[in-house]
Structure 1
Amino acid sequence: MNLLFDYYICNMSELTRLPGQQISFRDNAMDTTATEKFCLVAQCDRERFSLAVLDNLTNDFLAFESWNYRKAVTQLQLSEQLDRMFTDHPWLLNGFKRVDVIITTEKFTLVPSSLFDSSSAREVLSFNVPLQDNQIVRTDILRMADARMIYAIDPKLEKVLNRLAPSPRIRHHLTPLIEKALSQSKNKNNKSIAVHIRQGQFDLIAVENGKLLLANVFEYHSPEDFIYYILFAAEQLRLNPEEFELNISGEVEQDSALIKIAGKYVRNVILAKRESGHRFAKGFDQFPEHFHFNLFALHFFA
């Protein structure tokens, strides 16, 4: 299967155009022949695979790479594209100290920890979403939410991700977003909605005083769709647009129509910031702090 890429690679601030990736940069401290010293965090979407390399001894993010490929309709198609990409970039298979991977899937449900039973996880998930017989059901522990995330993954996709490490820490894409939102809300007497924007979809997490109110995924085709779902969720949760904070992250520019319409209807719109306790190599200055937000949160909140 052919991959469709736009590639930019830079050493610190210098950019060069090459066939392959969308964007890539590495700090001089990043040695691809000594990957066992570093941690890898990655996000696997249907249209893109992104990764960052972290030195967890110094809390420095040293490298970032992102590949765009032909949109995968199924996880099986995605696994085929990732398999080829890993083969074409063998340094990813050299072995890391730790590997965390987010997978994006709408086949999920949340269950309070008090009601969770591992023996019935598949039954609970199939009650909410259609499952194929061969799909693997996984669970994430959401400590701050006191809940379990139950979701499905194609076995071939899991096998391909296992090329990165014998036992990578695979997580649902909402897991770090939920834990991060609750962490920010802890010990605060406020209400907030966190929105993470993706291509054609966005994730919405509503919290109040450190408690999770809602976590869901919405499709949108226009800015009007986008704000409608946010305001509808706020109305159902009795959140006043004049009072709650709307924290936005994702690959969307500050002057985009989505950000503008959000500011028109919600008083307090805030663009997400990276973790203040961690340092980022100079190359990360190429994109705003709210870009790839859940990728950088993965190592610490999943």
Structure 2
Amino acid sequence: MLEQDIDSLTPSRAFSRRDFVRTGIGTGFAAAVLPTLAQSTITTDASGLTVGEAMIPVGGFNLPAYVARPQGKTGAPVVLVVSEIFGVHEHIADVARRFAKQGYFAIAPELFVRQGDPMSYGELARLIAEVISKVPDEQVMGDLDACAAWAKTQGADATKLGVTGFCWGGRITWLYAAHNPAVKAGVAWYGRLVGESNPLQPRHPVDVAASLKAPVLGLYGGADTGIPLDTVDKMKQALAQGGPAARASQFVVYPDAPHAFHADYRPSYRRQAAEDGWKRCLAWFRSQGVA
């Protein structure tokens, strides 16, 4: 179940700026990252899967999410897929389908929906200032809790709960592994580790490292100009001072990989690092009982 031949996935068509106008969650790409790269963008088909949009109750709010699960299977382990700042676009939905092909109940929630639509922003600075910076960590933790609880009502095995995320979602992965004692394992792809505290982001991964409730595998790029390797070293030092889950956490740094090396629709994509990271991600979940 846990082996995947990435070469068997087929490249998608090219996307232009008109494609940010989507017909539903998990379609199109954010305007800020178009046009995408047709030669590397991966498309995973939905054969054998049940996929589509779900509305997940969070108090009195309905949170949209893209869900991919093995067709007809109950008791599937759960993986929460946390997006980049660009929201749940076609790539994130594809990652959810990749997990579902491996037997997982994958949920990719649209965590920015209360603050705005990141798909519609063509300017990165405006997207961060007007949407991303206004999303409270506490809200995100509650939304992810609701996703895990909802999965249980859908016949999934929420006692086998994993979380993974990319960039913004990588930071959230570390935080969620410290927040929810039900999490068994996390995989953080190039998520920021340090930062200034503010009312909406009071703590960062380095601040919660010692209190992790589940071990996290960090997949980082040695050529990532936004996440200096000295911050990885700081995180390692903080983990070493923590409990069993913190001390069991690991890092893999790909020396020549830039930020977003897994994002196969962007120029930052590095196939070798992405494929190796994906295999390590699956193996990590399996080793921690999320399988």
- TM-score normalised to structure 1 length: 0.35
Between Structure 1 and Structure 2, the one with more strand by share is: 1
Between Structure 1 and Structure 2, the one with more helix by share is: 2
